[in-house]
Amino acid sequence: MVCRPPLIVMCLLWSIALVAVGQTAWYDKIADLPAIGAPIINLSPETGWVFGGVVQGYFRCKDQKQTSMVQLSGAYSLRSQWYIHSHGTIYAGSKNQWMISYDVGYRHYPDVRFYVGNEFTIKEGISYLSERAHIKATALAEVAPGWSIGPTIQYLYDKTDFEDLISTGGIGLSISYDSRDLHFYPTHGWFFQVSGIHYEPFNGNFTRSDLIESDLRHFIPIYRQLLFAWQFRTQWSIGGAMPYQLLPSLGGEDLVRGLRANMFRDQALLALQAELRIPIYRQLSGTVFAGIGDVYNYNEWQWVMPKVGYGLGLRVAINKSKINIRFDVARNNLYKSWNTMESYSFYLTTTEAF
């Protein structure tokens, strides 16, 4: 989650939880917590007061060394606006490992639409009410040591108060290589994944289209628990008019932190980010991170100043699989003044950015 001024109360409650978990896990043995949760309290002009919660659980399937994770969140506003969302990654199998990831949700909730392109303006975007359902799932089967392959399916339904109903489904293929020792907080190894998905329009003013993306990560131990990690990620929308909601987007809590999520969208995305992960004391560690990237249009390819985000973070390990409570403070290069609140973002969540 990203925290800006309307979410200060939520961040404060998360901070209290961070301290509490840190105290319970501050001994020689990490508190192997099976789940963690926190309340959601939000106030914004579009919603008024919002109340809800988020819980994340961890488990291991039989004969499986990797830890699986499932998260569920939901909230309801005093203006009868609501959402429910769940995502997770499940590892199963022994000799031939399976990995199933999913992201599903439904919402009757306000959203913000920004202009397509990489030019920056101070405008906040257009606020609108969205009736949206989405599902995305990927199942990968190990076919050789470290190598996995499997199908991806996706469906999006979105009805807004300013455009026609969007209904589209997609099917594709993913291939990955993974030599990481741990999936949530690796200490060494490589990860590479490439996928392609073809979308068929069921309704809406767009055509058949395809999305190709790749993700490359490397984790390099320097000295004991001191670690350098980097990631290069690309996305390419080709073949036709893609719905706005599915266009490659930059920003948020995982990709070039410091930029507002979905503020920059277009046909192509290029992003590079890195961080130095620093042990501090027992379950407590820190990070220094930076990222650079931008979005582009094929027909009007325009080079502008790349978007940059950088900052500092703290981590508290909550179980033996090195799942962390993550708190990051990031700044972007869009605003020149250091006193401008819009140039900062605060993130409090679990699992790493990459």
CATH number of 2-350: 2.40.160.50
The structure's pTM equals: 0.84
For strand 209-223 and strand 264-265, is the pairing parallel, antiparallel, or unpaired? unpaired
In this predicted structure, what is the pLDDT of residue 20? Answer: 47
In this predicted structure, what is the pLDDT of residue 83? Answer: 96
In this predicted structure, what is the pLDDT of residue 4? Answer: 47
Percent of the chain with pLDDT over 90: 52
When pLDDT is cut at 50, 70 and 90, the band that residue 107 belongs to is: very high
pLDDT above 50 for 8? no
pLDDT above 90 for 114? no
In this predicted structure, what is the pLDDT of residue 122? Answer: 64
Domain ranges across the chain:
2-350
**Average pLDDT of the residues of the chain:** 86
Vertex 104: Cα angle to 61 and 32 (nearest 5): 35
Question: Which one is predicted more confidently, 205 or 140?
Answer: 140
In this predicted structure, what is the pLDDT of residue 211? Answer: 95
User: Which residue has tokens 């301290």?
Assistant: 19
Write down the number of H helices and E strands in the chain: 1, 19
Q: Report pLDDT digits (tens) over 275-308.
A: 999 999 888 999 999 999 999 998 887 778 899 9
Amino acid at 298: Y
Q: Report pLDDT digits (tens) over 17-33.
A: 444 444 444 333 445 66
Question: Which one is predicted more confidently, 332 or 65?
Answer: 332
Q: Report pLDDT digits (tens) over 161-192.
A: 777 788 999 999 999 999 998 888 899 999 99
Q: Report pLDDT digits (tens) over 210-269.
A: 999 999 999 999 998 899 999 999 999 998 788 888 999 999 889 999 998 888 999 999
Q: Report pLDDT digits (tens) over 127-146.
A: 888 999 999 999 999 999 99
φ, ψ for residue 20, nearest 5 deg: -65, -45
Q: Report pLDDT digits (tens) over 30-62.
A: 456 687 888 888 887 778 899 999 998 888 888
- Pick from 28-37, 197-206, 319-328: least confident: 28-37
CB count in 10 Å sphere of residue 34: 10
| Residues linked to residue 284 through DSSP beta bridges, in sequence order | 281, 316
**Do residues 251 and 264 make contact, with C-beta atoms less than 8 angstroms apart?**
yes
In this predicted structure, what is the pLDDT of residue 33? Answer: 65
For strand 98-113 and strand 126-144, is the pairing parallel, antiparallel, or unpaired? antiparallel
Tokens of 146: 């470290």
